[in-house]
Structure 1
Amino acid sequence: MWSLSVVLNPLLFLLLFGYCPSVTIRPKEGWQVYSSAQDADGRCICTVQNMSQSIEVLNLRTQRDFQYIMRMESQIKGLRSKFRQIESDRKTLVNKNFQELKGKMESLQPLIPVLEQYKTDAKLISQFKEEIRNLSGVLMGIQEEMGAYDYEELQQRVLNLENRLRNCMNKLTCGKLMKITGPLTVKTSGTRFGAWMTDPQASPKTNRVWYMDSYTNNKIVKEYKSLADFVAGVESRTYNLPFKWAGTNHVVYNGSLYYNKMQSNIIVRYSFETGRVVTQRALESAGFHNVYPYTWGGFSDIDLMADELGLWAVYATNQNAGNIVISQLNPDTLQILNTWNTEYSKRNAGESFMICGTLYITNSHLTGAKVYYAYSTKTSTYEYTDIPFHNQYFHMSMLDYNARDRTLYGWNNGHQVLFNVTLFHIIKTEDDS
């Protein structure tokens, strides 16, 4: 048996939860009904509909239909009785007229069980109105809790905040090293000596890793698409360099590998994209082939590195009595842009790295090493420091800073490790250059 609820509930469902255009929220207009959906981009769409008018129209229609059906009650029952009588003698009727009469009867047939329940179900209208009043209060509470912001406005607020943060970061001066923590052991592979690195100039979506095992008699560079592939040992490409390298102090910068050509003071720039040497240039007066290495030896005379300010070479010369010389290089031509002479002996340095134009030097490659000396190329001054770091595997043969990651990459006795650095920043004023 059908009931009024069967007829009205789908209608109410469509009214309450069907799609409707968004309208301005005015609580005094009546009941507010919300529905939600997602657009093609997965964003939430919230819609609002005023139900007051719809319910009043439904109420008027129900009263009108009730009076109409009551008048039809006796007629339908009479028609039903007449139809049964006529159906008993079909031969007396013209077939066409019979079919028309039968169609009308079939269309009226569903109204009979509705009529039987109509009087009791008529109360549903007032119940619906009361339920929607309650729903209105709940939804208004949700509206107050959510606030008055839609998706576009919230997105704009996020973008504005991001721009403010970027502007704030641009006002930070280049950082000064305060602390080194770690290491994090990424992988254990290769010999005791080697180098591994990423490109600080690469886009954030690119994180290729390059791996160069040993400090001499090798010219094979392995490439991995990501750090995860590096850990898993999944190589993406292998490069066979035209010249063997010396030491472990290579650097990848803006898509090119810079390294010291074996048994020379020549710096080679090798393009990974073209697979060939782009340029090479001798570093005038620089010692090589274990004349001025770091404390561990390994032909580490010339150390190539990069930071926020560009490409650098750290080495020693006879003219500077074997003390460390810092030169900033043009990444394209390898020409020296500027040079600074320090008073720190290259042979007494364990390793070194550049951060924001300042060279930091460790006093040993063994256990107990610390960052002991810092030379600023901005002020051409130095200071002694005391910044310890944990030499977990007792022998550091490579330590380089990556400005994009703000981490130190290390080769620690056959272990590839990462150190986190803490930098001190000063906010620039408008008077600062």
Structure 2
Amino acid sequence: MRAFLILVTLTCLADAQHQALMDYLERRLLAIEDRISVWHEQTNRYATELREFKQQMVAQIETLDKDKETLRTDLDSVGTRVDRVEREMDYLETQNGAQPCVDVDDKLVEQQVTVVKEKNKAKYAKATDCRDMISSIKAMKILKRVGGPKGMWTKDVGSSSGKVYVFNGTDEDTIYEFGSVRDFTISQGTSMAKTVKLPSPWRGSGHTVYNNHAYYVKEGKELRLMKYNLRNGSVADSAVFPVQDHVPVYSLTPETVIDLAADEEGLWAIYATKETERHISLAKMDANTLDIEQMWDTPCPRENAEAAFIICGTVYVVYNTALPSRSRVQCVFDVSDMVTNDDAPLVYFPKRYGSHSSLKYNPLEQLIYAWDDGYQILYKLAMKKKLEV
């Protein structure tokens, strides 16, 4: 009997626990259903809001596309007008050029007698019958960008080897030699170049390569010119440039104290001193011995000058502004007195990137090798004959 009562009691307890568990599960399911219902409502609301937002964005994008087309049309119109204005300005600059940079001060007037008697008393004896002078810049070609903002690149002016030499920077000691302009153009950086290690760093960007020799100014306090044989890798000669109290030759390129150049006549040095601080001076040099053959004081100011080049014994000084704009040849000096500023055309260079740190003329190609903010540029020149004055 007792066992039966125990069994009945356990059965009742089991039924009660089962019912409680079922009630609990039912309540949980109802709560989950309520949450699912809320999530469903929220999802529907979010979907509706997303569709409305999408429609608004589509409308905004369509409006922006219309505004974009309108803006593009306006910009094309402005670009056309700017091009027209630039062409008109170029025409006006050609027709009404700026006055030549001839700045005569009292100091220069006082020195005039000395200059005539000492420096210019002997008429320059031309080594060739070259009578070419620049007429205009026919074309420009940007080859690539190698190196820093300032440097120099050129071909060997006195040789037909076709080799190209790159002097990167203003105080380095390694020249990069390429077999041709094409090799230089297709090379990844300087990967195709032969490196030439100089015995001493150079100074500025006024170097030149002439008859298989590199001519440069040695870094240091004194103005020592170095002549380096590129064939056998040795110093062929060196000499101290015989001027005192030198100053940078171009105010916009202060790193260059002497700008060496080579043309049909041979080797030249463009420089400046405190004695003629406001103006640029010129010297004809013996390329073999580095001796000075003759010297001139030019009327070309240093102020706002960035570089210069020489063609047939005529110096063309290129000017710019502190905030780089369009470079222009605004002062010339001819050692044979066949060209004056009045005779020389006012030549403007095409728009580029910054300002020239070097300009090197190659008479065999009638090209100028220019370095502009790390870009290597070729300028093709249109030439004409000098007129006797």
Distance 1:389 1:236, change over 3 A: closer
Is the counterpart of residue 232 in structure 1 residue 186 in structure 2?
yes
- Of stretches 182-191 and 292-301 in structure 1, the one that deviates more from structure 2 is 292-301
Q: 1:200 aligns with which of 141, 153, 157?
A: 157
How far did 1:381 drift? 6.8
TM-score (ref. length: structure 1):
0.55
1:351 aligned counterpart, secondary structure: strand
Distance 1:268 1:237, change over 3 A: same
The one-letter code sitting in structure 1 at the alignment partner of 2:180 is S
In the other structure, the counterpart of 1:215 is 170
Distance 1:360 1:287, change over 3 A: farther
How far did 1:320 drift? 2.2
Looking at structure 1, the residues matched to 137 and 159 of structure 2 have their Cα atoms a distance apart, in angstroms, of 24
Is the counterpart of residue 360 in structure 1 residue 335 in structure 2?
no
In the other structure, the counterpart of 2:228 is 270
- Contact 2:208/2:260, CA 8 A, preserved across alignment: yes
The one-letter code sitting in structure 2 at the alignment partner of 1:361 is V
Which stretches of structure 1, 4 residues or longer, exceed 6 Å deviation after superposition? Answer: none
Percent sequence identity over aligned pairs: 27
Matches within 5 A, 1:4-403: 173-203=130-160, 206-216=161-171, 218-233=172-187, 234-263=191-220, 264-285=222-243, 288=246, 291-364=247-320, 366-379=324-337, 382-383=340-341, 385-403=345-363
Distance 1:191 1:296, change over 3 A: same
Q: Any gaps of 5 or more consecutive residues in structure 1?
A: 1-170
- Contact 1:258/1:269, CA 8 A, preserved across alignment: yes
Distance 1:325 1:185, change over 3 A: same
Deviations 1:45-70 (A, max 9, x none): xxxxxxxxxxxxxxxxxxxxxxxxxx
2:182 aligned counterpart, secondary structure: helix
* RMSD, aligned CA: 2.2
- Contact 1:362/1:370, CA 8 A, preserved across alignment: yes
- Of stretches 312-321 and 342-351 in structure 1, the one that deviates more from structure 2 is 342-351
Deviations 1:1-29 (A, max 9, x none): xxxxxxxxxxxxxxxxxxxxxxxxxxxxx
Is the counterpart of residue 413 in structure 1 residue 370 in structure 2?
no
The one-letter code sitting in structure 1 at the alignment partner of 2:315 is L
1:258 aligned counterpart, secondary structure: strand
How far did 1:322 drift? 4.1
- Contact 2:252/2:304, CA 8 A, preserved across alignment: no
How far did 1:187 drift? 1.5
2:346 aligned counterpart, secondary structure: strand
- Contact 1:394/1:413, CA 8 A, preserved across alignment: yes
Deviations 1:279-336 (A, max 9, x none): 1111112555xx3242333411210001111110000012223421110100010000
Looking at structure 2, the residues matched to 362 and 297 of structure 1 have their Cα atoms a distance apart, in angstroms, of 11
Deviations 1:61-88 (A, max 9, x none): xxxxxxxxxxxxxxxxxxxxxxxxxxxx
Distance 1:172 1:331, change over 3 A: closer
Looking at structure 2, the residues matched to 212 and 420 of structure 1 have their Cα atoms a distance apart, in angstroms, of 21
Looking at structure 2, the residues matched to 253 and 293 of structure 1 have their Cα atoms a distance apart, in angstroms, of 21
Distance 1:172 1:332, change over 3 A: closer
Distance 1:286 1:368, change over 3 A: farther
How far did 1:274 drift? 1.6
Looking at structure 1, the residues matched to 313 and 231 of structure 2 have their Cα atoms a distance apart, in angstroms, of 28
Greater RCO, CA 8 A, separation 6+: 2
Deviations 1:200-220 (A, max 9, x none): 2212xx21111111112x100
TM-score (ref. length: structure 2):
0.61
